[in-house]
Chain A
């Protein structure tokens, strides 16, 4: 159940991370995983979906001590999409809380 919940908002989470900074796939996984614990293999298809939808672009960034890595960056459309999704999420959260209440009993 929790997995299903997480998956729904994962796209928003990834977009938000990229809104702060450009970074590479594994790092995105590490950030998300630290907070909510997901399996690595769910992140990569999401990134790809974001790329094919035009929200995210990729570029190769040379690294000082290794091969170049694929970095992800938000497109303008992606930034707008991120804001929309965030609004949607906050509104959705409020609606849900109205029904279930915000305290656990």
Chain B
């Protein structure tokens, strides 16, 4: 950068005598070194500070008695000389754009967005409870400290992103000889947080104080939390408690399930007896209420683990032994309404017919096997995966952030699946009748794989993954297929009209 600057300057100063020119260049050389060494500036910052080589040269030529621009003379020719385009450079830059920029910019942007997004997710799942006294204070400190450091990380990454864009733009403008480079660069640099911080020393001081404070809070909060509640996270000093509730039902009327769970998996299946039976073992860290209401024909299961803020499950995965409950229904009973909200519970429906289905989990995976949905159904999870096998539905919508979505041998005429970081894998959809209407699969960082998916329209979209779609029966024509990815390959082998 410095080299290019001095070289430009030398070119513009060509009307001067050799030794005069050398002296000026030495001045600027020294200027660079002094500023870098004593003021800690980068070459680029110094260049931004200085006038551009043309103006410097014009000024100096003026001082040395060379008449400025309008008159004829060397100075004029120098400054008005059209710059040569370097076609090798242009070729290289275009190659770079095509090969590197096209994926690097979206990738950087993606990382930034997911960092910011996970901070958002982190904040929204926080729930504070002050019941725990000192523990709440320590835990609160830990969480707030983490959140702030996280925010700084996001901002830091944002600056890197902007810096990269600035570098790109500057390079392009140099190669294509675009004027007014400095204004553009200055404009872009204005978006940098570090620039704002330099301009607002008070704000910067506040930021730095908060940074140190957050680090201290994380340390103190972390130690305090582990000290007061360490056994909750790490220890295994809990046991499983057995539950068993059942009532008889003689008619075949429908039942409903309503559950709000923090811990404990739920399995729902049929058995060959005339009873509704809920049985299983659950961790005694939570008190679980099970109610089988015969008049309303509703099974209600609730438990709440009220550790302060614990619904943010950084530690959730340590709880592998939370236990499970199985709900048995008489064969052929229809589940009229399933409404479940869970934090760590995994859900497993096997062989059931369901009318209305609304399910949401944070960490629990959802398994649907041989389930028939008579109404449009939807499920949502943050970290859980979906495992769908032999499901029949008119319309099914599954959403996850970090989980994988797997669908096998199902009949769903309108399927909508969405994940951010997981893979979508559909193998066998409407295979017998080939009568699907619409499949919509969307991922950001995952691969999408379709095999034997028969629907009139299919939309497969991801950003950082491959797309792969093939059917055994090549005589099946889709009306519309759309596969898009930014950083991956698209391989769609199914024929379309």
Contact stretch, chosen from A64-72, A73-81, A82-90, A91-99: A64-72
Interface size class of A (residues with CB under 8 A): 20 to 34
* Residue from A24, A27, A45, A69 within 8 A of B63 (CB atoms): A45
**Residues A39 and B59 in contact, CB atoms below 8 Å apart:** yes
Of residues 32 through 61 on chain B, the ones whose CB sits less than 8 Å from some CB of chain A are 33-35, 37-38, 50-51, 55-56, 59-60
| Minimal beta-carbon separation of B215 from chain A (angstroms) | 31
Residues of B within 8 A of A42 (CB): 59, 63
| Minimal beta-carbon separation of A39 from chain B (angstroms) | 6
**Residues B59 and A41 in contact, CB atoms below 8 Å apart:** yes
Given contacts A24-B34, A26-B34, contact A44 B51 (CB under 8 A): no
**Residues A39 and B51 in contact, CB atoms below 8 Å apart:** yes
CA–CA, A26 and B38, complex, Å: 12
**Residues B37 and A66 in contact, CB atoms below 8 Å apart:** yes
CA–CA, A44 and B25, complex, Å: 10
Question: Which of A25, A26, A48, A67 lies at the interface centre, i.e. has the most chain B CB atoms within 10 A of its CB?
Answer: A26
| Minimal beta-carbon separation of B108 from chain A (angstroms) | 35
CA–CA, A40 and B47, complex, Å: 12
Residue on A with the closest CB to B20? A48
Of residues 13 through 48 on chain A, the ones whose CB sits less than 8 Å from some CB of chain B are 24-27, 39-42, 44-48
Given contacts A41-B51, A41-B56, A48-B23, contact A70 B30 (CB under 8 A): yes
Residues of B within 8 A of A46 (CB): 63
* Residue from B30, B37, B38 within 8 A of A25 (CB atoms): B30
* Residue from B27, B33, B37 within 8 A of A44 (CB atoms): B27
**Residues A40 and B30 in contact, CB atoms below 8 Å apart:** no
Question: Which of B27, B30, B34, B55 lies at the interface centre, i.e. has the most chain A CB atoms within 10 A of its CB?
Answer: B27
Question: Is B195 located at the chain interface by the 8 A CB criterion?
Answer: no
**Residues B60 and A45 in contact, CB atoms below 8 Å apart:** yes
| Minimal beta-carbon separation of B185 from chain A (angstroms) | 19
| Minimal beta-carbon separation of A93 from chain B (angstroms) | 24
Residues of A within 8 A of B64 (CB): 45
| Minimal beta-carbon separation of A51 from chain B (angstroms) | 9
Contact with A along B226-258 (1 / 0, CB 8 A): 000000000000000000000000000000000
**Residues B59 and A65 in contact, CB atoms below 8 Å apart:** no
**Residues A66 and B33 in contact, CB atoms below 8 Å apart:** yes
| Minimal beta-carbon separation of B274 from chain A (angstroms) | 91
Contact with A along B260-272 (1 / 0, CB 8 A): 0000000000000
**Residues A26 and B30 in contact, CB atoms below 8 Å apart:** yes
CA–CA, A40 and B30, complex, Å: 13
**Residues B24 and A44 in contact, CB atoms below 8 Å apart:** yes
Residues of A within 8 A of B59 (CB): 39, 41-42, 45
CA–CA, A4 and B37, complex, Å: 33
Question: Is B26 located at the chain interface by the 8 A CB criterion?
Answer: yes
* Residue from A24, A45, A48, A65 within 8 A of B30 (CB atoms): A24
CA–CA, A67 and B59, complex, Å: 28
**Residues B37 and A65 in contact, CB atoms below 8 Å apart:** yes
Residue on A with the closest CB to B31? A26
Residue on B with the closest CB to A69? B30
Residues of A within 8 A of B37 (CB): 63, 65-66
Residues of A within 8 A of B63 (CB): 42, 45-46, 49
Given contacts A48-B20, A66-B37, contact A41 B55 (CB under 8 A): yes
Residues of A within 8 A of B34 (CB): 24, 26-27, 66, 69
| Minimal beta-carbon separation of A5 from chain B (angstroms) | 16
Residue on B with the closest CB to A29? B31
Contact with A along B149-182 (1 / 0, CB 8 A): 0000000000000000000000000000000000
Residue on A with the closest CB to B64? A45
Residues of B within 8 A of A47 (CB): 27
**Residues A41 and B31 in contact, CB atoms below 8 Å apart:** no
| Minimal beta-carbon separation of B65 from chain A (angstroms) | 10
* Residue from B20, B33, B50 within 8 A of A40 (CB atoms): B50
Residues of A within 8 A of B51 (CB): 39-41
Residue on A with the closest CB to B23? A48
Residues of A within 8 A of B20 (CB): 48
CA–CA, A88 and B226, complex, Å: 79
CA–CA, A52 and B25, complex, Å: 17
Contact with A along B8-38 (1 / 0, CB 8 A): 0000000000001001101100110111011
Residues of A within 8 A of B26 (CB): 70
Residues of A within 8 A of B56 (CB): 40-41
Residues of B within 8 A of A48 (CB): 20, 23-24
| Minimal beta-carbon separation of B88 from chain A (angstroms) | 32
Residues of A within 8 A of B38 (CB): 66
Chain A residues close to B by CB (< 8 Å): 24-27, 39-42, 44-49, 63, 65-67, 69-70
- Between A and B, 28 residue pairs with Cβ closer than 8 Å are A25-B30, A26-B31, A26-B34, A26-B35, A27-B34, A39-B55, A40-B31, A40-B56, A41-B51, A41-B55, A41-B59, A42-B63, A44-B24, A44-B27, A44-B60, A45-B24, A45-B59, A46-B63, A47-B27, A48-B20, A48-B23, A49-B63, A63-B37, A66-B33, A66-B37, A69-B33, A69-B34, A70-B26
**Given contacts A45-B63, A48-B20, could you give 7 more A-B pairs where the C-beta distance is less than 8 Å?**
A24-B30, A25-B30, A39-B59, A41-B51, A41-B55, A44-B27, A69-B34
Q: Closest 4 A-B residue pairs measured CB to CB?
A: A45-B63, A41-B59, A41-B56, A66-B37
